[in-house]
Structure 1
């Protein structure tokens, strides 16, 4: 187990941080958002709580964000949409609420978005509101929203730019 990430901000050349199942608690440490070279953050199966900070937008080189199986809450920040190199957004099995940010449509390289809540693992209120069209994501091949509280109809242009066989 890793007791804390204190001092990690000095690892400015760090590209991949694997802290899965390290029994980390509390908010995601602010020090992580200072890692300007970070391409992959793998922080699954911890006990992180609270919202994802708007500082997530500072991780401009990030291609993979794995934060599933934590206890994160609140609205997904719009700043996720500024991570223009992001290919994988895996945030399932948390306690998010609010709506899916429209800024996800900015992520042209996004291939996988995973926001589902596993059956029997429902935490928090769940994500609600209308299903976004995700129409401007030409690389998107996998979408997981099951067991959320989305409503309305599937937009006519849903995944309009997604790869075709």
Structure 2
């Protein structure tokens, strides 16, 4: 059973959503996400994107610790969680790792200040991960993560504060789209990314990558995808490897909003 709130539905999120498997409420709710959300056993899809939701604070003197109640139980059935374009801050709840059926996680365009969610590394069914336009920071290399997300197709980390090198052991045979512009990634671009057979689009612009663009990238060589990395060289950039950097005139990746429709 699906509940779809319309633009005429205002106020807090009602407890009645616990009776539904799918709940969609764009442009409908204000205030904060109630604590009972994580305890809803039947809920499989929750889409609260494009609202004015904020993180609930325990009291005015405490900074929010989690963007949504950290109460997802073992055996959680949640498959889709979309909270894109709200005013959420805090951290990605640790208990979300209990949702082994999760396929879509879209928490882009918020104010989330956290590290890369390595605690979700065992969710093997994850297809879509959107963290864009937040305040995520640090490296994206998860220790003891041998399998990665084998089903991942969309990987969007654009416009955050991620840094360090992309691990050369990165896996993604099903990846179709990789967007990581406007961060602080550095070091060489791993050649293995160009060998991902399903990869159709990428954007590495506005970082601090160095070295030559791998020849394995084949047709994935649009100029704007690599611009504003002063240490990068080789086609399609104007800078040839071994020569001083040339000036690039390409726009940044400034798109906003959810890539899940």
- Give runs of aligned pairs for residues 1-165 of structure 1, distance below 5 A: 1-3=29-31, 4-26=33-55, 27-30=66-69, 33-34=72-73, 36-102=76-142, 103=145, 106-117=148-159, 126-133=161-168, 135-163=170-198
Contact between 1:9 and 1:31, CA under 8 Å: does it hold in 2? yes
| Counterpart-to-counterpart distance in 1, 2:71 and 2:88 | 13
Q: How many residue pairs end up in the alignment?
A: 158
| Counterpart-to-counterpart distance in 1, 2:157 and 2:116 | 10
Determine which structure has more spread, i.e. the larger CA radius of gyration: 2
| Counterpart-to-counterpart distance in 1, 2:185 and 2:199 | 25
Call closer, same or farther: CA 1:105–1:15 in 2, change over 3 Å. same
| Counterpart-to-counterpart distance in 1, 2:76 and 2:100 | 7
- Which region of structure 1 is more displaced relative to structure 2, 36-45 or 2-11? 2-11
Deviations 1:57-110 (Å, cap 9, x if unpaired)?
111110000000000112112112111100000110000110113349510000
Quote the RMSD (CA, aligned, Å): 2.3
Query: Which 5+ residue runs of structure 2 have no aligned equivalent?
Result: 1-28, 56-65, 201-261
TM-score of the superposed pair, with normalisation by structure 1 = 0.84
TM-score of the superposed pair, with normalisation by structure 2 = 0.55
Between structures 1 and 2, the one with greater strand share: 1
